[in-house]
Chains A and B, each alone.
Chain A
Amino acid sequence: QSALTQAASVSGSPGQSITISCTGTSSDIGGYNYVSWYQQLPGEAPKLIIYDVSNRPSGVSNRFSGSKAGNTASLTISGLQAEDEADYYCNSYSSISTRVFGGGTKLTVL
């Protein structure tokens, strides 16, 4: 059960936009629109910020947006703020392993 592929780290300055990519296969991201993204602040439990590729739960800032093209999903954070500094994980339904997470991306706000 291979994890989805994410860059280990990304950084940006306040006000900028950044994009985190998550690459899988046709058995997971490419085959289904069940991609979710989670934000994990230091020492805390994960929090759902995007589901079904591009939907935001109630209460999540509209600065967070999601998309998908082929086997790659993306999370974009616009108007970067210091409070966005966290680890971000993607997750997809998989026909092979039911659920698979990405390795996580650490976002640093410069």
Chain B
Amino acid sequence: ELQLLESGGDLVQPGGSLRLSCAASGFTFRSHGMSWVRQAPGKGLEWVSTIGADEYTYYADSVKGRFTISRDNSENTLYVQMNSLRAEDTATYYCAKYSGRTLGDVWGKGTAVIVSS
């Protein structure tokens, strides 16, 4: 069964850092692009970042320079390092798998990040 499991969400102060993880199973992780998508409380989905199977990385303007996406193919795990966190980064963060050019044929259940003092 294809599965994604996020972890690492927490309450963090503004200006702080956090690293989220997404453990993948049931498919050949190294062969697929992966993304982080977030959803602020009561709001819509927002694409955050993508890392290709070729390890090229892409970021939304709202997180560029603060977030870093990475992957460990030996551990089948996706990461996002989030620095200089702001209140507006408060959201549930989902990891999502690409199938070809299609974002999100598989989604994790999400992990909650709260940025507050």
A interface vs B, CB < 8 Å? 1, 3, 34, 36, 38, 40, 45-48, 51-52, 57, 87, 89, 91, 93, 97-104
Contacts and interface: CB of A to CB of B under 8 A. Distances in A.
A110 to B, nearest CB: 23
Interface stretch (B7-15, B16-24, B73-81, B99-107): B99-107
A39 to B, nearest CB: 11
A51 to B, nearest CB: 4
Contact of B35 (A34, A99, A102): A99
Interface of B: 35, 37, 44-47, 50, 58, 60-62, 94, 96, 99, 101-105, 107-110
Contacts of A34: 101-102
A59 to B, nearest CB: 11
Contacts of B47: 91, 97-101
A29 B107 CA distance: 23
A45 B25 CA distance: 17
B45 A101 contact: yes
Contacts of A40: 45
B35 A38 contact: no
Contacts of B62: 1
A93 B60 contact: no
B108 to A, nearest CB: 7
B103 to A, nearest CB: 6
